[in-house]
């Protein structure tokens, strides 16, 4: 976001020509020119908007970045391809760009799924150090007891480490099977395993928000492109 100047190796990598390390090798092999001048200096800065950058004489172009918010329906997998031939979220979004889902949701989990071709954005959303909150509406097979609610919000041991929901509430009065939970965790099946460890079965799971993105105005299976303005708001809110 708001870049313009960036390292040459990063530019080459973002164009999909090589990994960053691979790009350094291409630079050292004197195969890269910037504005018709050979550049062999690692760390060389380029202007992504105005510089003419070529590999072996061929102009490199940055793929434009796209960001989608899908209200994932049940019965879809969050991989780009499925060996069992099941419907993937990439079957829903129509684009020629190489897009991928940001993190995972289970086959029958619904709700906010971000899909992009921007690896940095994906890292920002999913890297544990950023602690981006995910809010899930959970339907349980049994009423959640007050004691278990306390345990899950204070922390239990899961995968050998202390794990908790950072917020828990009952959105409906007198309904203790419907629980809204917030977590900053992206571990696989985290919500189901947290409840499962205390003997509850999660019958339905819907991610209502991820960071500042939510499913407002989107029915299950519908998606929209995220405008730049909304991305900027996100980066401002979660800068660190
Ligand atoms: N936690 C789960 O158990 N499943 C999901 O799909 C997401 C979070």
Q: Active-site residue among 51, 82, 106, 214? A: 106
CATH number, span 67-128+215-237:
3.30.70.580
106 is catalytic: yes
- Note whether 6-59 and 133-210 share their fold: no
- Residue 173 Cα to ligand 1 middle (Å): 25
Q: Is 65 in the pocket of ligand 1 (CB under 6 A)?
A: no
- Note down pLDDT in tens along the chain; length 240 residues: 456 899 999 998 888 677 778 889 999 999 999 999 999 999 999 998 899 999 999 999 887 889 999 999 999 999 888 889 998 988 899 887 878 899 999 999 999 999 998 888 888 999 999 999 999 999 999 999 999 999 999 999 999 999 999 999 999 999 999 999 999 999 999 999 999 999 999 999 999 999 999 999 999 999 999 999 999 999 999 987
Q: Is 77 in the pocket of ligand 1 (CB under 6 A)?
A: no
3-state SS of the chain: helix, strand, coil percent to 5?
25, 30, 50
- Residue 68 Cα to ligand 1 middle (Å): 20
Cβ neighbors of 78 (< 8 A, separation 6 or more) are: 72, 88, 89, 101, 103, 104, 105, 113
- What is this structure's pTM? 0.80
Could you say which architecture CATH assigns to the domain 133-210? 2-Layer Sandwich (3.30)
192 vs 11: CA distance, rounded Å: 40
Q: Which atom of ligand 1 is nearest to the CA of 104?
A: 6
Q: What ranges do the domains of the chain cover?
A: 6-59, 67-128+215-237, 133-210
Q: Which of 228, 180, 170, 177 is nearest to 208 (CA)?
A: 180
- Residue 139 Cα to ligand 1 middle (Å): 12
CATH number, span 6-59:
3.10.290.10
């Amino acid at each position: 976001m708001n870049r313009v100047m960036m390292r040459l190796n990063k530019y080459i990598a973002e164009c999909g020509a090589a990994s960053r390390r691979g790009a350094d090798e291409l630079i050292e092999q004197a195969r890269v020119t910037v504005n018709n001048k050979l550049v062999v200096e690692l760390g060389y800065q380029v202007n992504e908007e105005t510089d003419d950058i070529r590999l072996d004489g061929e102009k490199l172009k940055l793929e434009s970045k796209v960001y989608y918010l899908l209200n994932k329906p049940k019965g879809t997998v969050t991989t780009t391809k499925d060996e069992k031939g099941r419907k993937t979220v990439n079957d829903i979004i129509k684009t020629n760009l190489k897009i991928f889902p940001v993190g995972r949701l289970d086959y029958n989990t619904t709700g906010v799924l971000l899909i992009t071709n921007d690896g940095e954005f994906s890292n920002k959303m999913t890297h544990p150090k950023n602690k981006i909150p995910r809010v899930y509406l959970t339907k349980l097979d049994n009423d959640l007891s007050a004691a278990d609610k306390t345990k899950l919000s204070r922390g239990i041991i899961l995968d050998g480490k202390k794990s908790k929901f950072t917020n828990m509430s009952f959105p409906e009065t007198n309904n203790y099977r419907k629980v809204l939970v917030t977590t900053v965790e992206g571990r696989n099946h985290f919500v189901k395993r947290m409840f499962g460890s205390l003997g509850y079965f999660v019958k339905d799971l819907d991610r209502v928000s991820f960071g500042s993105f939510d499913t407002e105005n989107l029915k299950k299976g519908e998606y929209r492109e995220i405008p730049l303005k909304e991305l900027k708001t996100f980066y401002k809110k979660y800068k660190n």
